[in-house]
Amino acid sequence: MAQKEELARKKEEAPEIVKTEAEWRKQLSPMQYYVVREKGTERPFTGEFWDHHEKGTYKCIGCGEELFTSETKFDAGCGWPSFYDAIDKSKVRVNRDTSHGMIREEIVCKKCGAHLGHVFDDGPKPTGLRYCVNSASLGFEKKN
């Protein structure tokens, strides 16, 4: 029975959108591919959105899913875009990440599986969370 439950859980976690690596490479820049597909991290204070202050919606670069808004963005001083909440937590999947000798919580787009960054519990109220996201994993739609 446990095996069946595990298979059901894994099926539930599978992204809705599946692309070949060739399709991903065609769609994404080399830096976006490195971050989104290889779980890389852009250098702090270098990404397009770390010091971005326009009003609007931040979307997954892989599939266009709306993930964060400028209303929940804050300056965490870490060099990456930081948000204290997602638009809808069901759109972001959290996975345990034990790479680099640390235990962290990786965040990925649930719809396409794109690596976004990590979530930490050192953010501001009201959630106390800090979604630390790579700019390379995001697109932006300005709000008029």
The rounded distance, in Å, linking the Cα atoms of 122 and 99 is 20
* Phi, then psi, of 49 in degrees rounded to 5: -110, 5
Burial class (CB in 10 A: 0-12, 13-18, 19+), 92: buried
Q: Which two tokens stand for residue 21?
A: 């690596």
Q: Which residues of 93-115 are buried (b: 16+ CB within 10 A; e: fewer)?
A: beeeeeeeeeebebbbbbbbbbb
Establish whether 132 is a catalytic residue: yes
Instruction: Indicate which residue of 60, 63, 109, 132 is catalytic.
Output: 132
Contact by Cβ (8 Å): 36, 113: no
Catalytic residues: 132
